[in-house]
Amino acid sequence: MNRKSFNYNFFLCCLIFIGCLPYGAYAQNDSIVPALSNEIDEQFIEDFIQSTDEEGDFDFNTEFELYRGKPLNVNKASREDLEAMGLLSTIQINDLLRHRERFGDLIAIYELQTISSFDLETIQRIQAFVSTYSGVDDYQIPIHKMLVKGGNELYVRWGKVLEEQKGYLPLEEGQTGSRYLGDQNKLYVRYRHFYQNRLSFGITAEKDAGEEFFKGSNNNGFDYYSAHLYLNNYSKLIKAVALGDYKLSMGQGLVRYSGFGSGKSTYVTSIKRNAKAIDKYSSLNEAAFMRGAAATFGLGENIELTGFVSVRNRDANLVANDTLDNDDVNEFSSLQISGLHRTVNEVEDENAIKQTSYGGILKYKASKGHLALNVLHEQYDKELQRNQQPYNRFYFNGDQITNASLDYNYRYQNLNFFGETAWSDNNRLATLNGLLIGLDRHAEVALLHRYFPKDYQAVDANPFAEKRGGRNEQGMYIGLNLRPAKNWKINTYVDAYRHPWLLFDADAPSKGIDYLVKVTYWQKRRMEAYIQLRSETKQVNNSDFEGKIDPLENFQQFRMRLHLANKVSKTLELRSRVYWGFSQRGDDERQKGFAAYQDVIFKPLGFPISITSRFAIFDTDGYATRFYAYENNLLYTFSVPAYYNKGTRYYVNLRYKGIRNMTIEMRYSRTYWANQDSFGSGLEEINGQNKSELSAQIKMKF
């Protein structure tokens, strides 16, 4: 690899020097925490992106601020409450519940150290959001008081790519093709009223770059609007009510799962789906929600019944015919999930079909677990007829589909059994079953087996799997958490799987195996360092073969990561990371790559401005050897770009909190590719070697 453009040795020396700076006298007062600081962990997001192979931005609308106002009482919280908080693993929740059963209430939060799966790092991460204080029971507080006593928050966000992109340039004389209908500005507005985690209502609006605004296809302003009203734990009878847009999740995802599902990650034992059956929806994904009404009722001490109905329009590719009237078209070839409506063709696909969904969940709950029956029926006003290919021969086609499943969770001492078996109306069964074991305070094990036939059909299935869709896959996963000595942790997993039928990129039955090993050393309130190795080998088509059916060959991706976070003082934290890896297809030459970055997080005491910045350098042989890196962004917004080619990237975030109940932020980022004269492709192409982005956000609480 040609590295003449960059002095990597000098850069590595800088990383090592900065990472080894003395801790300073202030290091005893603040703890090293992940980059999101008590929010969703960057490792989880990076692993999710690595698995889906899609870089992007995420809007997570985190709920943790609600727990700051009224911390969750760990002595009274139910399993569902602890799972909804999202900060504890299933094994930790199981151990906490078993501890309460045996010894009663905890006196103080740090008593959690007596529970085998709780270490000091976990306790420090959750201590701002939990308590042992019972307080006054407001279980039956009237709705009008929730409205009066609740809080309000308003977000206004703007962003833009600063360079000219091909999609915004006019067509030259004689040139054909499409162009974006709108401008480069990206806009976002969200308002929400909330009372703790009990009541939430609000509206979200967004315009993507390239979409029209108050004209053309969007005469009403924004391209996307979403509104919700959600009531949680109102009474023993009314457990939850959702109106407007809401999330729906069932079991382990074989029928439907709208939550941010656990997958293969460094949280090797967090493989069990735990989302609420229904929950509020205020995110920006324009495809992952239901629109209508849903409610969960408590029928006695042990029975819960959830019913739901949703009627909404969906983006879809209509099957072309001789008429220009979409009302005369009665078939579509696929659903569109991007939510982008920038060109004439994308606007034609917008709200092209109507989807009606309804069903229910009947759950029996006991102290040791639950058993639930899930039913979902979905119907379209046009018929889905895919473009037939050998790999999608067994996919769902038609205008309606019904799924049902049984899911279970059972806890016996230190064992937690869970799973789901699902049926599709073509009389096929799919099943997933797992076991979580807390061996002792030094070790935890996760086992999961999945069997998804090639012809099992479900529209929005999202179980734990190598491929999304819950079909054509068999596999066995083993994960292990070890704490062999004080301040040391080892996380590792192995996942072996096979696909009995063809895939989009495999013209024959195929198989694969993944493994990960992460070794972490940390010192309380001082530093965290880890080395991580991850490898994936799977069978794909031989791209050099000239024939209708390609033979398979192995495709291997290997990634190594070395990370160091150092709390230098109360106000300054430094994070350094180095990547190295390779990709190899069959007997082709191995493609190698390298990347490194330095983060500086500066939050001065008594001063309203804080700064987060990064400088990264990378050199890879191409996109196949890419490195995904989580980046701090505007509040509750995270980006995970892929570092590849040869170049540099940097960003600077500024956050100002000098006005009461208001946070003002700005972000500037820039990527430079030294080995190419253009950036991006298609309508996103930039005639130049740089891509710069500027964004700003105002958050107000009142």
pLDDT in tens, 66-107: 666 678 888 888 888 888 777 788 888 888 888 888 888 888
Burial class from Cβ neighbours inside 10 Å (0-12, 13-18, 19+) for residue 388 reads exposed
Structural domain includes residue 83? yes
- What is the DSSP secondary-structure string of 319-350? PP-S-S-GGG--EEEEE--S----SHHHHHHT
**DSSP state letter for 166:** G
281-319 as b/e, with b when 16 or more CB fall inside 10 Å? bbbbebebbbbbbbbbbbeeeeebebebebebebbbbbe
pLDDT in tens, 275-298: 899 999 988 889 889 999 999 999
pTM of the model: 0.89
What share of the chain in percent tops pLDDT 70? Answer: 88
The answer to whether 244 and 231 are in contact (CB under 8 A) is no
Considering 54-58, 601-605, 633-637, the range whose residues carry the highest mean pLDDT is: 601-605
The answer to whether 41 and 34 are in contact (CB under 8 A) is yes
104-139 as b/e, with b when 16 or more CB fall inside 10 Å? eebeebebbeebbbbbbbbbbbbeebbbbeeeeeee
pLDDT in tens, 387-427: 999 999 999 999 999 999 999 999 999 999 999 999 999 99
Paired strand residues for 376: 359, 403
The answer to whether 171 and 206 are in contact (CB under 8 A) is no
pLDDT in tens, 430-476: 999 999 999 988 999 999 999 999 999 999 999 999 998 999 999 99
E strand or H helix that includes residue 17: helix 8-19
Considering 36-40, 58-62, 335-339, 378-382, the range whose residues carry the highest mean pLDDT is: 378-382
Structural domain includes residue 687? no
Structural domain includes residue 82? yes
Q: How many of the other CB atoms lie within 10 Å of CB of 367?
A: 9
153-163 as b/e, with b when 16 or more CB fall inside 10 Å? bebebbbbbeb
Instruction: Report the C-alpha gap between 211 and 209 in whole angstroms.
Output: 6
How confident is the model at residue 85, as a pLDDT?
A: 75
Given a cut of 70, whether residue 2 has pLDDT beyond it is no
Structural domain includes residue 532? no
Paired strand residues for 565: 528, 575
The CATH number covering residue 108 comes to: 1.10.150
Instruction: Report the C-alpha gap between 398 and 691 in whole angstroms.
Output: 43
Nearest to 377 by CA among 459, 312, 301: 459
Nearest to 267 by CA among 103, 389, 397, 89: 89
How confident is the model at residue 53, as a pLDDT?
A: 56
Instruction: Report the C-alpha gap between 93 and 638 in whole angstroms.
Output: 27
Radius of gyration of the chain (CA): 26
pLDDT in tens, 142-185: 888 888 888 999 999 999 999 999 999 998 887 888 999 999 99
SS3 94: helix
Instruction: Report the C-alpha gap between 697 and 158 in whole angstroms.
Output: 6
CA dihedral 410, 412, 416, 418 (to 10 degrees): -20
How confident is the model at residue 56, as a pLDDT?
A: 53
SS3 294: strand
Structural domain includes residue 454? no
SS3 682: helix
E strand or H helix that includes residue 79: helix 79-85
Structural domain includes residue 133? yes
In the chain, the number of structural domains is 1
Joined together, the tokens standing for residue 620 give 């890879």
Structural domain includes residue 88? yes
Q: Could you give the angle at the alpha carbon of 276 between the alpha carbons of 222 and 77, nearest 5°?
A: 125
Instruction: Report the C-alpha gap between 542 and 550 in whole angstroms.
Output: 6
Residue type present at position 149: K
Summary mean pLDDT of the chain: 88
Instruction: Report the C-alpha gap between 456 and 479 in whole angstroms.
Output: 27
Domain residue limits at 129: 37-139
Structural domain includes residue 81? yes
Joined together, the tokens standing for residue 289 give 């929600």
Joined together, the tokens standing for residue 194 give 């909330």
- What is the DSSP secondary-structure string of 391-440? GGTTS--EEEEEEEEEEEEEEETTEEEEEEEEEETTTEEEEEEEEEEEEE
